[in-house]
Amino acid sequence: MEGFRQHAACAFRTRLVFLFLLGAALICAAGCKKKPPPATAQIRAVTRELVFAARNATGGRAEVGMRPEYAPRQPGKPQTLATDQIYITVPLTRAGLPDRAAHDAIEKELARVAQFHHLRRVARSGVPGMERFDYMLDGRRTQSIHLITPLAAAVSARPTSRRPLLAIVIDDLGNDPAQADALFRLSFPLTLSVLPHLPDSGEIAEEAHRRGYQVLLHLPMASTGGEKDEPIELRPGMDSNTVRQTLAAMLDTVPYAAGVNNHEGSLGTSDHTLMNELMPLLHERNLFFVDSRTTAATVAEAAAHSAGVPATSRNVFLDDEQSSGAIRKQFAVAVRNAREKGSALAIGHPHPETLQVLTDMLPGIERQGITLVFASDLAR
């Protein structure tokens, strides 16, 4: 009988241990269950608060933009929002310097919103002129903040020194955000020329403007060969109303364009009638013109001056030959032209080789006695 009681007691204790372990496992399963990712509506609601806070911190002076970043699409499922990229440009003082008080006010307001929503701030590597950090919720990135100090704060609109001036225009942007992002790592006053009507034309132009780069409309015009013509371009024989409407539609897709330079256009820029139709339209919009000089027969700069449009022209193409050695030689030619003539304008493209040469050579440009400026600083 005593043995039976001991056996029963042992069985009871075993059941208790089993039930305890089972309960603990269930509790752990409930508590350790992975939280679902924040919903699109939740991310977007917080983004709106952060955007409003940044604007409100500066009385509306800060320029704020947002770009969604989507998670990879899963077969058979709708696309979902992964995070919002938020771009905040610190306003300038009347003296043209970054407003430090505004910068600190923006930081304070962002921190307030983040604390309320239990967001954790994680610093990211930045570049000159831009601080970057992420906000995390339950270990997931929900917002990426880009706090930008405009490059324009570091350069004057009209340089007054007698140092030689060099402007560098990078053409053919608008179809590849990765190319633009690579350019944005170069914190120098470059002029970025954006093709119209491309998938990313507007977004790249807006981002370039926010970061303080000068934006041009890279205006497609007919070429003599015709093999590189764009679907929408200016062609000889267009009536004045068509020229006006075509230009207006292009400018609508390239916001913040301060001027225009021609894409191709060996036929268009050599046509007196077409140039005389175009230039008064640029004058109406207070735009300047850069003649890319794709033909020696161009009359574009002369037509611009006749219409009262500030204009200049290209001296050097940097990357007709896409090798680092050739581009370095052309860069040296541009520097020599600037020294000999007082100013020069070089045109390149966002090829990896060109970007690498600019990365290597631009930091030393000031030591060579050259002042890097925007294209508008050379337009007369």
The rounded distance, in Å, linking the Cα atoms of 343 and 314 is: 11
Give residue 226's region: left, alpha or beta (phi > 0; psi -120 to 50).
left
At residue 158, the pLDDT reads 46
Nearest CA-CA partner of 219 in 232, 206, 228 = 232
Q: What is the mean pLDDT of residues 244-252?
A: 97
pTM exceeding the 0.85 threshold for the entire prediction: no
Residue 17 pLDDT exceeds 60:
no
Residue 45 pLDDT exceeds 50:
yes
Which amino acid would we find at residue 159? P
Percent of the chain with pLDDT over 70: 86
At residue 156, the pLDDT reads 44
Residues facing residue 120 across a β-bridge:
136
At residue 29, the pLDDT reads 52
Return the exposure string of 160-198: e unless at least 16 CB atoms fall within 10 Å of the residue's CB, then b: eeebbbbbbbbbbbbeebebbebbbebbbbbbbbbbbbb
Tokens of 174: 């608008």
Return the exposure string of 266-281: e unless at least 16 CB atoms fall within 10 Å of the residue's CB, then b: bbbbbbeebbebbbbb
CA distances from 328 to 183, 211, 337, 340, 372 (A): 17, 26, 14, 18, 17
Residue 258 pLDDT exceeds 90:
yes
Transcribe 41-86 into DSSP letters: HHHHHHHHHHHHHHHHHTTT-SEEEEEEEEPPPPTTS---EEEEEE
CA atoms within 13 A on the CB side of 301: 16
What digits encode the pLDDT tens for the residues 262-272?
999 999 999 99
Contact status, residue 106 vs residue 71, Cβ threshold 8 Å:
no
Percent of the chain with pLDDT over 90: 66
- Residue with the bigger pLDDT between 72 and 192: it is 192
The rounded distance, in Å, linking the Cα atoms of 348 and 320 is: 8
- Residue with the bigger pLDDT between 71 and 138: it is 138
Contact status, residue 372 vs residue 166, Cβ threshold 8 Å:
yes
At residue 371, the pLDDT reads 93
The rounded distance, in Å, linking the Cα atoms of 205 and 213 is: 9
CA atoms within 13 A on the CB side of 238: 23
The overall average pLDDT reported for the chain is: 88
Contact status, residue 260 vs residue 290, Cβ threshold 8 Å:
yes
Nearest CA-CA partner of 166 in 347, 372, 378, 10 = 372
Give residue 160's region: left, alpha or beta (phi > 0; psi -120 to 50).
alpha
pLDDT band of 148, cuts 50, 70, 90: confident
Q: Domains (ranges, CATH) in the chain?
A: 40-148 (3.30.460), 153-378 (3.20.20.370)
